[in-house]
Amino acid sequence: MKPINSKERSKSLLQFVFIFFALAMVPVALIFFSYYKVPEEISQSEENKLVAYSNFEHTQKLILKKMVEVDSNINLYASATTENPKLLDKKIVDGLSDLSKMDTSIKMVKLVSDGYANHYTHVTKLVEAQEKLKDAMLKLQDADAKLKAAQANPMMGGMGAMPMPPSN
């Protein structure tokens, strides 16, 4: 081995320093890239997913709110305790149309909308039958009252009047 002079020694030192810094900068650059650049791209895609989920969640909340409104109106209509059934009927029909228009991409919305529409027609038929039954009961009670009144008053020639036997 031959001794290195100062010129070659300084050249070798500069080569070592350059190679050392070059090799030290590669891991630093990779760490920087992995912590700052890649997460920005991932966060952009995750942000898009979050926005899509948020929109979906918002739509679901609106659908559930409309379903609760329609269901409570149908239950109120079925209980027949409302003072204005025509207004309630209009609210139910409007709610059903709004529900069916909300989000057509979700099959559940169509199924629920159709289910509530069928439930509403069923309740409407039941309420109409209940009204007819009430009317028939009132007519029956009125006829019964007339019959009792006619039976109680024999002078009026009611059906329950017994003829008086002839006196001897």
Question: 100-152, pLDDT tens digit by residue?
Answer: 777 656 677 777 778 888 888 888 888 888 889 889 999 999 988 888 888 88
CA distance readout (Å), 167 to 153, 164? 22, 9
Q: Is residue 33 part of a domain?
A: yes
Residue 19 has pLDDT above 90, yes or no: yes
Q: Is residue 116 part of a domain?
A: yes
pTM of the model: 0.49
Whole-number Å distance between alpha carbons of 142 and 160 = 17
Q: Is residue 133 part of a domain?
A: yes
C-alpha distances (whole Å) from 2 to each of 7, 39, 165 are 14, 53, 165
End-to-end CA separation in angstroms for the chain: 173
Q: Over pLDDT 90: what percentage of the chain?
A: 11
- Over residues 49-67, the mean pLDDT reads 83
Q: What is the pLDDT of residue 38?
A: 64
Domain count, the chain: 1
Sign of the Cα pseudo-torsion (72, 74, 75, 76, in order):
positive
Position 51 in a domain: yes
Question: 7 vs 140, which has greater pLDDT?
Answer: 140
* Residue 25 within a domain: yes
Environment class of residue 77 by beta-carbon count within 10 Å: exposed (0-12), middle (13-18) or buried (19+)? buried
Predicted pLDDT at 52:
84
Q: Which of 48-62, 70-84, 146-160 has the highest mean pLDDT?
A: 48-62
Q: Please tell me the least confidently modeled range out of 67-81, 124-138, 150-164.
A: 150-164
Give the rounded percent of residues in the chain with a pLDDT score beyond 70: 81
Task: Give me the pLDDT at residue 115, please.
Answer: 82
In the prediction, which pLDDT does 105 show? Answer: 65
Does residue 157 have a pLDDT over 70?
Answer: no
Q: Is residue 71 part of a domain?
A: yes
31: containing domain: 15-148
Report if residue 164 sits inside a domain.
Answer: no
Average pLDDT score over the chain: 79
In a domain, 66, yes or no: yes
